[in-house]
C-alpha cells in the first residue's frame, strides 16, 4: 500500500518546474507563498500526489520528495552539487546497499545524502569535514532526508588520515584530493574504488598523478554536460541556457601491486 | 573482512583500460588471450586486486567487477546501454533499496542489472520483453551479475498493459514509450516516477505529450554528453573522439488530479 | 601605415571583457559611464590601441571595432545573432570577396553585416525583410559598420519570390525557410549554396525535406556549441555558464538534376 | 553569368556526403573509382552542378569546390584542420579583403588557404614554416585552390622573429605559440589581433600568460563543439559519433599600454 502523508514528513509543494518548496508537515502551521498560503495540517492522512489549493485558490501538487529533490534543496553554505554528477559518482563507485564508504568533505551534505540513500540500511557513510558549521548544516539536511542514521559525521581533516579500513569506496569532493590518495589506498579494501570531483583541470591532473603513484589502476577522468530540452510539438529545441561546467570526475580502483601471482612458466609445461 | 576470490565468481581481468575481460573462475580452466593464458584455478582464495602473470609473463590485475562492468560487458543482442544514461535514469527515478519497479523492454538486461542492484535485497524489478531470445540473453547477464533473484522477467507486451500496481517507478527503454504511459499511470503509486529513454527527438516529443495528457507533472527531458579527458601533465586535453549522442531521458511524476484539496476559502477567515 | 582615429569613426571603449562601448567620435561630445566620462574629441589623431583615462581616472583602451564587435553590438529589435553561427554560415556558404548573395530576413542586420564584410568591395548582398522598422534599424547598424554601400535592403517577402538570379549563395534566418527553398533554387547559380539557420528542430526537418524535394544535394545540418574557458595557472576550467543552444545550421548545394551527362557506355569501348 | 567548367579546373565529384573526390579536369584523363570511371574531358564547357554518369552508369554530381572542400581535402602531412575552427579563427581575427596577415606554422596549408581566400585580392598572407617538406605540400594545396598568388611561404622559424610589421593579424597554429607572442606584438599594427589554436590546455594557459605579459587585452579562450544531426521525419536525432575535441582557440588584441591619454582632471572643470 502507498504511504499516506503524516505529521513530520517533508513534502514537495509543486507549482511548476521552477517553483517547488520542500516543507515539513506540522499541525497548526501554514506555508506562505506569493500565491497565498497552504494549511499543512490538512494534508495529514492524504495521498501523495494530490492537489491542494492555496488560500488564493492556486493549485499546488503535494509530492513526495525524491533523492534528487533533497540534493537540489540542500540548505547550502557552499556551492551547489549537481544530481548529474552525484549520479555518475555513485555509478562509478560501484556502491550499493550495505557498502561502507568514506567521504570528504561533507560540505552541504548533498553528496552524503545520495551516498546514504544508496548504502542504507546496512551500510555506512563516514563523512569527513574540517569546518564545523558545515557539519551542523549537513546534519540538518541529512535529518530532513531521513538518512542521518546511516552517516557518521566526523569533524576531522581527511588529508591527515582516514580512521576506517577495508571500505568499499572513498568519495572525494574537496580542494586537494591528491593529498587524500595515499590514505584512501590504505583505507580501501582490495579492488575498492576512489571517485573524486574537482572543478579545475589542475586538480584533476594532480589527482591522477597521485593515483598513478599509489598503485591505483583503471584511472579515468570525464566531464558530463547535461542539456535540457524544451519539448513542444513543432517548436522542440534545446534550452538556451545551460550549465557549461561543474567539474571533472576521476575514477580509479585499488590494485595490490606487491602480490603478483605467477602462472607456471610456459617451459615447465 | 574483504572477500577472497572463490570458484564460480566472475572476475575482471584488466590489462589496460581498453582491454578487460569478464571471466568466470572455474577449476581446470585457462583463459586465453593474445598475451598468453591465465590459469584461473590459481586465483581461488586470493585477494581481489592482485596481479597475475599470464603464460607469456604479461601482467593482468584481477578486479572484482563493479555494476558498471556488468553493464558494459553485457552480452548484447541489441544496442549498447551507456552507464551515464543508466546513472541518470536511476537518479531521476528516485529508487533505492526496497523499491518495486516495472521496466520495459528488458533488452540485454543491462538496465535491468542496474535497477536490480539498486533495489536489492527487498525490492523487485518486473521486466517486460516481447522478444523471447532477448529474455534468455538477459537472464544470462543477470545471473552473471548475481542479480537474477531480484528480477521477474516477463515475456509480455507492456503496451497492452501492466500487471503490477502501486509500484515506485516505471522505467522505459523501448520504441513506443508513449503507448505505455496510460498503463504506467495506472500501475504507479501516487507520486511515483516514470523515466523513459529514447534515441530520437520525435519519441521524446510523443512521450511528453502522452505524459501531459495522463496527469503526469514535473516533466523534464534532458540529454547527457560525457567527454573523456586525456590527463598528462603538460599535455592534458579532452579525448578526440566522443559519443555525441545516445538518447533523450524524460522524467515525470504521477499526480492525482481528481482529488484536489481546498484550504478554507480566504473570506472565511 | 596604421590608421589614426578620426572624427566620425566608431571606436570600442574597452574597460574589461564584459564592459565595452561602441561609440562614435564627435567633437565636443563626452561619453558618460559609471566610471566617469571620456572626452571623445581628444582621441582624434591618436592611434587605435591607446589607453585613455576617464574624468574619474579610470583607464579605457580605445579599440578599433572588429566585425565581431559590430555583430555583438548590433542595436537589436530581435534576438541576438551569435558570431559562432555567423562564422560557420559564412564558411559553409563558400562566399568571399565579389560574391553576390541573397539574404533573408535582415533582422538586426548583424548577419548582413558579416556577409557585406566578406563580399566587399565588388560583391553585393540583397537582403529581404518584411518588417519595415527592422530595415530602418538594420540600415543604422550597417552604416555604423561602414558597410551599407555593399547591401541592398529590400522591404519584400522572400517567401513570395526572389528578384535576383545567378547568385552565389542564399542565406536564410527566418521562421519558414522551407518556403524559400524553391525560390532559392531558381535564384542560385548552378552549384550555388544555401545556408539556413533555425532555432527549432522542426524547422530544420522541414527545410531539409524541402531541399531534398528541390534538387539540392550535399545536405548537412549541424549545431555548434561554444564554451568559454577561464584560464589561470592552477585554476583553469571551463566557464560555469554557457549558451546551450542558438540554432541548427543547414547547408546544401544546388545540383542540376535534369542535365545528366553520360560517359560512353562501357561496352562501346 | 555562371562560369563553365574548363580545362585545368578542379571539380568535386560528389557521390554522397561521405564520398567526394577533388579532381583536376584534364583532356584524355579518366577518373577511376570503384563505381567505374568518369571521362573528365567530357565535362569541359559544361555547367557546374550537372550530373555525370560513370562507365558503370553511376551518377556523380560535378560540384565547384568551395573553400571548405579545399580545407577538408588538403593533402596532409600533419593532423586535420577543421572548418569549424578555421571559421571561428577568421571571425575572431576580424580580417577581410585587403588584410595583411602573418601565419605560422603553414602545416598542410589548410588554414593558409582560408586566410588567403579572405584577404584576396589586395591582402597578403605571410606564412612561416620550419619544415621544408610541409611548405612544398602546402604550396600544392594552395595552387590547387587557386590562392598561391596571395601567399608568401617562408621557410623560417617564427619563434625567432617576424620580418613583417604593421600587420592586421597574427594567426598561430604551432606547438609553442607563447614564444611567438612578443614577436607578434612587435609585428602587429596598434589594435591588431592575435588568434592561436592549440590542442592542449597547457598550451592555452601558457599563451594567455604570455599575452597578458605583453600588453595584449580582450583575451578570450574558447572551444567549439560541432555536432551533426541526422534529419529524417520521425527519426531525427544527433549523430552517434562526434569529434569531441580539436583544440582551444585563444583571441587577443594589441593595446598600446605606454601612451595613456588623460582627460582633464575632474576638479579642473
Domain end call among C21, C40, C65: C65
| Residue of C94, C166, C263 lying closest to D42 (CB–CB) | C263
| Residue of C200, C238, C240 lying closest to A235 (CB–CB) | C200
| Residue of D201, D240, D246 lying closest to B244 (CB–CB) | D240
User: How many Å apart are CA A154 and CA C240, to the nearest integer?
Assistant: 31
- C76-87 average pLDDT score: 86
Q: How many CB pairs under 8 A join C and D?
A: 263
Q: According to the model, what pLDDT value does residue C266 have? A: 43
Could you read off the pLDDT of C151-195 as tens digits, one per residue? 999 999 999 999 999 999 999 999 999 999 999 999 999 999 999
A127 Cβ contact list (under 8 Å, min separation 6): A102, A103, A104, A105, A106, A109, A112, A138, A151, A152, A153, A154
| Residue of A92, A253, A263 lying closest to B53 (CB–CB) | A263
In a domain, A101, yes or no: yes
In a domain, D148, yes or no: yes
CB atoms within 10 A of CB D28: 7
Domain enclosing residue B93, as ranges: 69-254
User: How many Å apart are CA C139 and CA D153, to the nearest integer?
Assistant: 41
CATH number, domain of D17, equals 3.10.330.20
How confident is residue B258, by pLDDT bands cut at 50, 70 and 90?
low
In a domain, A267, yes or no: no
Q: According to the model, what pLDDT value does residue A266 have? A: 43
In a domain, A269, yes or no: no
Same domain, C40 and C140: no
User: How many Å apart are CA D176 and CA D163, to the nearest integer?
Assistant: 19
Same domain, A57 and A75: no
Mean pLDDT score of chain B: 92
How confident is residue C267, by pLDDT bands cut at 50, 70 and 90?
very low
CATH number, domain of A129, equals 3.40.50.150
Instruction: Name the residue of chain B whose CA is nearest to D225's CA.
Output: B244
Instruction: Name the residue of chain B whose CA is nearest to A259's CA.
Output: B50
Which residues does chain C have within 8 Å of residue D67's beta carbon, measured at their own beta carbons?
Answer: 91, 94, 96
Which residues does chain D have within 8 Å of residue B235's beta carbon, measured at their own beta carbons?
Answer: 200, 202
Could you read off the pLDDT of B156-191 as tens digits, one per residue? 999 999 999 999 999 999 999 999 999 999 999 999
In a domain, D173, yes or no: yes
How confident is residue D2, by pLDDT bands cut at 50, 70 and 90?
low
Same domain, D194 and D98: yes
Instruction: Name the residue of chain B whose CA is nearest to D242's CA.
Output: B244
pTM of the model: 0.92
Q: According to the model, what pLDDT value does residue C78 have? A: 73
**Cell 599535455 belongs to residue:** B235
User: How many Å apart are CA B33 and CA B15, to the nearest integer?
Assistant: 10
Mark which residues 158-187 of B lie under 8 Å from A by CB.
166
Mark which residues 224-263 of D lie under 8 Å from B by CB.
227-228, 233-247
In a domain, D120, yes or no: yes
Rounded to the nearest 5 percent, the helix, strand and coil shares of chain D are 25, 35, 35
Could you read off the pLDDT of A193-206 as tens digits, one per residue? 999 999 999 999 99
Q: A96, A145, A230: which to substitute to probe chain B, counting the most B Cβ within 10 Å?
A: A96
3-state SS, one letter per residue, for D216-234 = EEEEEEEEEEEEEEECCCC
DSSP assignment of C131-171 equals -HHHHHHHHHHHHHTT-GGGEEEE-S-TTT-----SEEEEE
Instruction: Name the residue of chain A whose CA is nearest to B83's CA.
Output: A91
Which residues does chain C have within 8 Å of residue A239's beta carbon, measured at their own beta carbons?
Answer: 244-245
> C242 and A242 in contact by Cβ < 8 A?
yes
The CA-to-CA distance between both ends of chain D, in Å, stands at: 64
In a domain, A153, yes or no: yes
Which residues does chain B have within 8 Å of residue A191's beta carbon, measured at their own beta carbons?
Answer: 47-49, 63-64
Same domain, A123 and A209: yes
> D191 and C260 in contact by Cβ < 8 A?
no
> D245 and B244 in contact by Cβ < 8 A?
no
Same domain, C35 and C95: no
Omega before D105 cis (within 30°)?
Answer: yes
Domain end call among C65, C88, C110: C65
DSSP assignment of C64-118 equals PPPHHHHHHT---SS----HHHHHHHHHHHT--TT-EEEEE--TTSHHHHHHHHH
> B263 and A52 in contact by Cβ < 8 A?
yes
CA–CA min distance C78, chain A (Å) = 15
Number of structural domains (chain A) is: 2
Mean pLDDT score of chain D: 92
Instruction: Name the residue of chain D whose CA is nearest to C54's CA.
Output: D263
Tell me what percent of the residues of chain B surpass a pLDDT of 90.
86
- B140-147 average pLDDT score: 94
Could you read off the pLDDT of C207-237 as tens digits, one per residue? 999 999 999 999 999 999 999 999 998 999 9
Same domain, D55 and D73: no
How confident is residue D25, by pLDDT bands cut at 50, 70 and 90?
very high
| Residue of D2, D42, D255 lying closest to C261 (CB–CB) | D42
Same domain, C16 and C142: no
Same domain, A78 and A177: yes
Q: How many CB pairs under 8 A join A and B?
A: 266
Q: According to the model, what pLDDT value does residue C38 have? A: 95
Instruction: Name the residue of chain C whose CA is nearest to D12's CA.
Output: C191
| Residue of B67, B92, B257 lying closest to A94 (CB–CB) | B67
| Per-residue pLDDT at C206 exceeds 80 | yes
| Residue of A236, A238, A245 lying closest to C237 (CB–CB) | A245
Q: According to the model, what pLDDT value does residue B2 have? A: 63
A22 touches chain B (CB under 8 A): no
CA–CA min distance B178, chain D (Å) = 14
> A244 and C238 in contact by Cβ < 8 A?
yes
User: How many Å apart are CA D59 and CA A71, to the nearest integer?
Assistant: 59
| Residue of C54, C61, C220 lying closest to D255 (CB–CB) | C61
**Crossing angle between the packed helical segments A110-119 and A83-93, to the nearest 10 degrees:** 40
How confident is residue D74, by pLDDT bands cut at 50, 70 and 90?
confident
CA–CA min distance B46, chain A (Å) = 9
Mean pLDDT score of chain C: 92
Give pLDDT < 70 ranges for chain A. Answer: 1-2, 258-269
The angle formed by the CA atoms of residues A243, A85 and A93, to the nearest 5 degrees, is 165
In a domain, C27, yes or no: yes
| Per-residue pLDDT at D211 exceeds 60 | yes
Mark which residues 105-134 of A lie under 8 Å from B by CB.
114, 117-118, 120-121
A31 Cβ contact list (under 8 Å, min separation 6): A13, A21, A23, A37, A38, A40
Same domain, A103 and A51: no
Which residues does chain C have within 8 Å of residue A236's beta carbon, measured at their own beta carbons?
Answer: 200-202
Same domain, A128 and A32: no
Same domain, C89 and C137: yes
Q: According to the model, what pLDDT value does residue C265 have? A: 44
Same domain, A75 and A96: yes
Domain end call among D20, D39, D65: D65
Q: According to the model, what pLDDT value does residue C3 have? A: 83
Amino acid at each position: 500500500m502507498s504511504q499516506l502523508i503524516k505529521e513530520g514528513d517533508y513534502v514537495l509543494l509543486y507549482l511548476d518546474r521552477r517553483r517547488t518548496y520542500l516543507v515539513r508537515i506540522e499541525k497548526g502551521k501554514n506555508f506562505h507563498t506569493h500565491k497565498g498560503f497552504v494549511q499543512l495540517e490538512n494534508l495529514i492522512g492524504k495521498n501523495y500526489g494530490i492537489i491542494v489549493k492555496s488560500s488564493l485558490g492556486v493549485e499546488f501538487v503535494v509530492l513526495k520528495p525524491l533523492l534528487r529533490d533533497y540534493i537540489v534543496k540542500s540548505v547550502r553554505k557552499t556551492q551547489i552539487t549537481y544530481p548529474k554528477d552525484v549520479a555518475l559518482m555513485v555509478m562509478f563507485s560501484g556502491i550499493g546497499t550495505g557498502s561502507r564508504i568514506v567521504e570528504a568533505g561533507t560540505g552541504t551534505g548533498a553528496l552524503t545524502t545520495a551516498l546514504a540513500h544508496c548504502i542504507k540500511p546496512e551500510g555506512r557513510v563516514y563523512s569527513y569535514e574540517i569546518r564545523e558549521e558545515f557539519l551542523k548544516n549537513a546534519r540538518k539536511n541529512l535529518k530532513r532526508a531521513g538518512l542521518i542514521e546511516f552517516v557518521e559525521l566526523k569533524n576531522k581533516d581527511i588529508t591527515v588520515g582516514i580512521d576506517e579500513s577495508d571500505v568499499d569506496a572513498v568519495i572525494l569532493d574537496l580542494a586537494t584530493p591528491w593529498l587524500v590518495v595515499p590514505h584512501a589506498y590504505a583505507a580501501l579494501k582490495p579492488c575498492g574504488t576512489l571517485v573524486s570531483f574537482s572543478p579545475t583541470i589542475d586538480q584533476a591532473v594532480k589527482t591522477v598523478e597521485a593515483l598513478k603513484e599509489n598503485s591505483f589502476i583503471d584511472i579515468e577522468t570525464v566531464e558530463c554536460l547535461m542539456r535540457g530540452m524544451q519539448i513542444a510539438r513543432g517548436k522542440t529545441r534545446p534550452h538556451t541556457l545551460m550549465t557549461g561546467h561543474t567539474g571533472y570526475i576521476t575514477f580509479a580502483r585499488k590494485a595490490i601491486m606487491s602480490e603478483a601471482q605467477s602462472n607456471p612458466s610456459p617451459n615447465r609445461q
